[in-house]
Structure 1
Amino acid sequence: MNRTFAARAAAGGIAAVLVLAGCSSKAEDGGDKTSAGGVKTAEGVSGKTITLGALTDMSGVYATLGKSVTQAQQLYVKQLDAAGGVCGYKVRLSVRDHGYDPQKAVSAYTELEPKVLGFVQFIGSPFVAAVKQRVDGQDKGLVLPQAWSATLLGSPYIRVIGSTYDLETINAVDFLIREKGIRKGDKIGHVYFEGDYGESALVGSKHMAKEAGLTVVEQKIKPTDNDMTAQVTALKKAGVKAIVLSAGPRQAASLVGVAAASGFDVPVIGNNSAFAPQLLATEAGPALTKNYYVASPSLPIGADTPQAKKLVADYRAAYPKDALDNGIVAGWTAASVFGEALKKACASKDLTREGVDKALLTLDSYDIGFGVVQDFSDPAAASSRESVILQPDKSVTGGMKVVRPAEASKAAQTYTP
């Protein structure tokens, strides 16, 4: 597994935190216990409350995403509690903002882990990878990350929802080939974050390039790099015919805007976390609507399905001043998956971490109405190999329209991580 940028940038700090946290006590929960209704409980269940953790980014590179994800999950919990909760327990979220900082992310995990049943959100592949050994070895609480690195596959407790970045990028390059005229012998650029996210996506672009006879021109960046002028200049000089972007919304706006300003008219496609509709109001807006696409693990918030329309109405009622984006879908989906696992664990009278983990394994065809069916029965496999291709469009709800519905390309279907 590639070392993450988190480990490289703050190896000493993370190691220290992990050592101190290695003996985190569960004593305050008193071990397994059984409620009056015969339901087995342990960490994260106290009195009449189930507590779930949410490790988010509301002040860093993914601040827009983190806010939407968290608010959607708070909305889900509110509705779940209004419907009676789970086994008579109310559910609450304990939220921490790590600001996409590795030290803060691991410290927040360390703080919350003994107090929660599991984590309904954890933004940042590098940070999830930094605690993976602890999760698998001693903590064993379900973690549903807002992260899609293939290195997270195989854990029975850290479960990625949707296609991993390598699969998503394979589908993205397939779109460039089938819809944007990229052909054998062409060069494509790939601008990517160092660490698990970008390097997992790079595996996908290289795999597809090998399959299709393309050459990948790499440009590695840091999450703190916001000006993509140097990258655009290098890729233009190299003669690439299209660009894959595995970074954040800020990098997307800069890259597409700089390319347009310099007359570099090539299609750019980003991974699912590389866009926010707020970008359409910036100077880069016109260029984004012309040349930018996004590969997504689900239909967008503005999808024409009953579930999407209800979510839009409910979210607008709860947060009337906030924009609609696909972070809402991602947050709602993760909360729904965790909620369904809790309900099944309740039916089995086992609301311990082990009980919830076992319950998730029974969800082999889970569909909440956003175009992709999820299968969580195999921890070693992504829950889906499909991607939806979206394009920015400020005239539609949520700022994204569907240009190719959910599909797993032939290369994605046969790909082995």
Structure 2
Amino acid sequence: MKLRVLGAVCAALALTLVGCSQKADTSDEGAKDKSGVKTGEGVTGSAITLGALTDMTGVYASLGRSVTQAQQLWVKQTNAAGGICGRRIALTVRDHGYDPQKAIAGYTELEPKVLGFVQFIGSPFVAAVEQRIDGQDKGLVLPQAWSANLLGSKYVRVIGATYDVETVNAIDYLLAEKRIAEGDRIGHVYFEGDYGENALAGSEYAAKEAGLTVVEQKIKPTDNDMTAQVAALKQAGVKAVVVSAGPRQAASLVGVAAATGFRVPVIGNNSAFAPQLLKTQAGPALLKDYYVAASTLPIGDPGTGPAKLSKEYRAEYPKDGLDNGVIAGYTAATLYGEALKKACAAKDLTRAGVDRALLTVTDFGSDFGMSHDFSDPAAPSTRESVIMKPDAEVPGGLKVV
């Protein structure tokens, strides 16, 4: 059966890490250059500076590295082609290590210096500053985060299906493949906070529509051993498991399940996999019955977009492997570039001008699997997902099923 997408989402995360901005009112917002283009924060006559708040040392270290390097590749290619609006692109990167204090401090440091953010990893951290972004900063932020709680902002724009929709699609796949059926119990292992709880809203909605029962297992990002969670789900008799956590937690879950004879399909949200896992003890189990949902084709797909990007990324970073962070980072940077080009054409490179420009992007990213529409800030850019399975023979370790 096809499940209807969740219509209403949970209230915004009540995370009180937001401090008052100390930015002085020194913006030159609205000043014009010699060609009549209005400029503001992060824009000079020769450069456009963007920020990236990433995780290269925490729970998403491998993905954060590839997202960032893909964006640096885009910057290099864009500048080699002459830049945008007669200006070079500069990218200022801060690694927060998936630590909330470092994430908020990084945003506070960079915000006055950049036009906006082409990357911000961590739904809880983005949510923590969303009030500041919407109320006073108003610089476009393209997060590597997919919480539905971020919808509705004109300035924080999610690229892809939100976690709740993605989870609905994941469970719908298991139903369509007859891996689960009405009356079954399904497990859901999820991070506490914005990411996991929004994904849980999707599984609860899907369960209600399909006559399933959800058995919850909430964990922290610092929890790496899933032995207790597997034991609880096994005892509960679940027929499948959804995991909304990081790659380490997904690998532990699948590996422990296999070692204890608990043989059920496991499906994860888009950030719950890294190809490096296939070389660990959990590798054989991941190859057998693990799946991942996402809103782009995998980097190893033979399609034109992934194949071209894979070749270019390998040439730039020959010592680094491929994963889906490459596509996620590159598409976000490319989208920001499209908004900048449209803002330039409208002669308005202020934050307000770039925000307005993004609203006119209605058919983006089809080379990487599906088209995205950014005209409605209250809606995900797509409600589609591809379902992928690990494959050790494919670059990036995932293939579409």
Q: Under TM normalisation by the shorter chain, which class is it?
A: over 0.9
Q: Distance in 1 between matches of 2:32 and 2:98?
A: 38
Cα deviation, 1:90-133, whole Å, max 9, x if unaligned, reads 00100000000000000100000011001000000000000000
Structure with the largest fraction of helix: 1
Pairing 1:4-403 to 2, within 5 Å after superposition: 4=13, 7=15, 11=16, 14-15=17-18, 18-19=19-20, 22-27=21-26, 29-403=27-401
Q: Is the 8 A contact 1:184 1:213 kept in 2?
A: yes
Counterpart in the other structure of 1:415: none
**Cα distance change on mapping 1:225 and 1:180 into 2, 3 Å:** farther
| AA at the equivalent of 2:22 | C
Q: Give distance in 2, aligned partners of 1:2 and 1:266.
A: 33
Structure 1 pair 242/122, CA: closer, same or farther in 2 (3 Å)? Answer: same
* Separation in 1, partners of 2:390, 2:150: 29
Shift of 1:30: 3.1
Shift of 1:367: 2.5
- 1:408 aligns with none
Residue deviations 1:31-61 (CA, integer Å, cap 9, x gap): 3311111111000002401000000000000
**Aligned residue type for 1:267:** P
What code does the residue aligned with 1:92 have? A
Which residue type is aligned with residue 245 of structure 2?
A
State the shift of 1:2 in Å: 5.6
Give the CA RMSD over aligned residues: 1.2
Give the counterpart letter for 2:74 in structure 1: Y
Shift of 1:291: 1.2
TM-score, length of structure 1 as denominator length: 0.92
Moved more, 78-87 or 212-221: 78-87
Task: Please tell me whether the aligned partners of residues 333 and 368 of structure 1 are also in contact (alpha carbons under 8 angstroms).
Answer: no
Residues paired across the two proteins, number = 392
**Superposed CA offset, 1:284-331 (max 9, x none):** 000000011000111000112222111111100100000100000000
| Percentage of identical aligned residues | 70
Q: Is the 8 A contact 1:55 1:95 kept in 2?
A: yes
Change (3 A) 1:31 1:348: closer
For residues 396 and 183 of structure 1, what CA distance do their matches in structure 2 show?
A: 31
SS in 2 for 1:350: coil
The CA distance in 2 between the partners of 1:368 and 1:72, in whole Å, is 18
Unaligned runs of 5+ in 1: 404-417
Under a length normalisation based on structure 2, what TM-score does the superposition of the two structures give? 0.96
CA 1:37–1:368 in structure 2 vs 1: closer, same or farther (change >3 Å)?
farther
Alignment check: 8 A CA contact 2:163 2:202 kept: yes
Distance in structure 2 (CA, Å) of the matches to 1:315 and 1:389? 24
The residue type paired with residue 95 of structure 1 is V
- Deviation of 1:344 after TM superposition, in Å, equals 0.5
For 1:188 and 1:353, locate their aligned partners in 2 and report how far apart those are by CA, in whole Å. 45
In the superposition, relative to structure 1, how do residues 26 and 311 fare at CA in structure 2: closer, same or farther (>3 Å)? farther
Q: d(CA) in 1 for partners of 2:178 and 2:167?
A: 15
Pairwise CA distance, 1:239: 0.1
